[in-house]
Amino acid sequence: MSTSRSNRVKAVFSTVSLTGAAMGWLTACGTSGEDENDAREVYCVDEQDQVVDDDMCEEAERNGGFVGGVPFFFLLGGFGGNRYSVGQTIPGQYTGAATRVNPSDSSARSRSGLPSSGRVASGSRISGGIGSGGGGGGS
């Protein structure tokens, strides 16, 4: 086999191997056992990702996302099947991929699958919306 042909054969095998590896990785990323949209839940949190009473997000909705100068958010994402109560801090392993939504931003709320206004109960499952990215309207 000539050197040129040998190099082409190696290149083809390398491309096939890399493509196969990439497909396997992408498949593994997409099979977490939960549908991305169905896995999303929402919590009302403060700036340290501590779950607060839902009333705080309701009040923040009326005050540009703030209560007493402190920002509050709806935090949407998959939280590993865990449920959080008022006073618990959601671990960073879940908040990094979660979407933060300013309660007073009605269009961001709608895009995220939340009602455009009104009370949202922490721990509610949210379907549809923009997924679990980092966007969704900040303060």
Residue ranges of the domains in the chain?
A: 1-31, 41-125
Q: How far is it, in rounded angstroms, from Cα 90 to Cα 84?
A: 7
**What would the pLDDT profile of 15-47 be if each residue is shown by its tens digit?**
434 333 333 333 333 333 344 434 599 999 999
- Rounded mean pLDDT of 64-76? 97
Residue 89, number of CB atoms within 10 A of its CB: 13
**What would the pLDDT profile of 72-120 be if each residue is shown by its tens digit?**
999 999 999 999 999 999 999 999 999 999 999 999 999 999 999 999 9
Burial 45-76 (b: 16+ CB within 10 A, else e): bbeebebbebebbbebbeeebebeeebbbbbb
- On whether the CB atoms of residues 98 and 138 are closer than 8 A, the answer is no
